[in-house]
A and B are shown apart, each in its own frame.
Chain A
Amino acid sequence: MIRQSTSPIIVLIGRLVSPFIQVFGLYVIFHGHYGPGGGFQGGAILAASLLLIRLCLDSETAQLQFRQALGTPVGILGSLAFAGIGLMTLLLGGEFLDYAFLPFGGMKPAEIRAMGILLVELGIGVAVMATLVAIFDDLIGLEDHG
């Protein structure tokens, strides 16, 4: 159980910086197929912003942002999004993660591939973020706030 820091500077800086880190993490995820970065790095940045709030503020405030009970289910959901898209292309006649076989009607093949990469990276990012936060919560030993 982490108590709120007694220093107002730490609390203020943590609250001020965390949203900007989240915006940067989303940028890294959505920009992953044009430049460096991608699902894993963006998810780790998002997790870092959540961990900053968990370290700077007290545990109850952090629960408002991302509940402890959500950690494992959201992580499973992210990995299922990755595996589900991969298996969907497998079922529709292609190979594993062959994005050209995704059932998006009315789009050019290049657009379908870009959309498939984006969905897979979103799944990876969500899975990494939730799993890292879940590891943190398990290590710190919060009691469950329901």
Chain B
Amino acid sequence: MIHWGLEVVLLVLLLSTAIIALKVKDLLAAVVTLGVFSFLSALVFVAMGAVDVGFTEAVVGAGVTTVLFVIALYHTTRRSND
């Protein structure tokens, strides 16, 4: 119960980053926002006491999958200039 306020703040931030990642137009910005989402969910795991799960989420979710998404973007081209 000590972390109650912290968890609420983290969950609100989690929701807002998820919505931003869905709504934003630039795909690179969406990928970076998804990385922020991963890191925040890692913080939520740590706040709930699952340190090992949070560690894995921070390393794989925020580190490696972001890089893989960036490479996937690197292979795409922009069709419209809006």
User: Interface of A with B (CB < 8 Å)?
Assistant: 2, 36-38, 40-41, 44-45, 47-48, 51, 55, 132, 135-136, 139-140
Bound together, the chains give a CA A135 to CA B60 distance in angstroms of 14
User: Interface of B with A (CB < 8 Å)?
Assistant: 51-52, 55-56, 59-60, 63-64, 67-68, 70-72, 74-75
Contacts of A48 in B (CB 8 A): 59, 63-64, 67
Contacts of A40 in B (CB 8 A): 56
Indicate if the CB atoms of A44 and B71 lie closer than 8 Å. Answer: no
Q: Which residue of B lies closest to A35 (CB)?
A: B51
Indicate if the CB atoms of A37 and B52 lie closer than 8 Å. Answer: yes
Contacts of A44 in B (CB 8 A): 56, 59-60, 63-64
Report the minimum CB–CB distance from B16 to chain A (whole Å). Answer: 26
Contacts of A51 in B (CB 8 A): 64, 67
Contacts of A140 in B (CB 8 A): 71, 74
Indicate if the CB atoms of A55 and B56 lie closer than 8 Å. Answer: no
Indicate if the CB atoms of A47 and B64 lie closer than 8 Å. Answer: yes
Contacts of B68 in A (CB 8 A): 135-136, 139
Contacts A/B (CB < 8 Å), 6 sampled: A2-B74, A44-B59, A45-B63, A136-B67, A136-B68, A139-B72
Bound together, the chains give a CA A29 to CA B78 distance in angstroms of 41
Indicate if the CB atoms of A136 and B71 lie closer than 8 Å. Answer: yes
Contacts of A37 in B (CB 8 A): 52, 55
Report the minimum CB–CB distance from A56 to chain B (whole Å). Answer: 11
Bound together, the chains give a CA A48 to CA B59 distance in angstroms of 8
Bound together, the chains give a CA A12 to CA B67 distance in angstroms of 19
Contacts of B71 in A (CB 8 A): 136, 139-140
The 8 Å CB contact of B55, one of A2, A41, A139, is A41
Indicate if the CB atoms of B67 and A45 lie closer than 8 Å. Answer: no
Contacts of B64 in A (CB 8 A): 44, 47-48, 51, 132
Contacts of B63 in A (CB 8 A): 44-45, 48
Contacts of B60 in A (CB 8 A): 44
Report the minimum CB–CB distance from B43 to chain A (whole Å). Answer: 14
Q: Which of B71, B74, B75 has the most A CB atoms < 10 Å from its CB?
A: B71
Bound together, the chains give a CA A116 to CA B70 distance in angstroms of 38
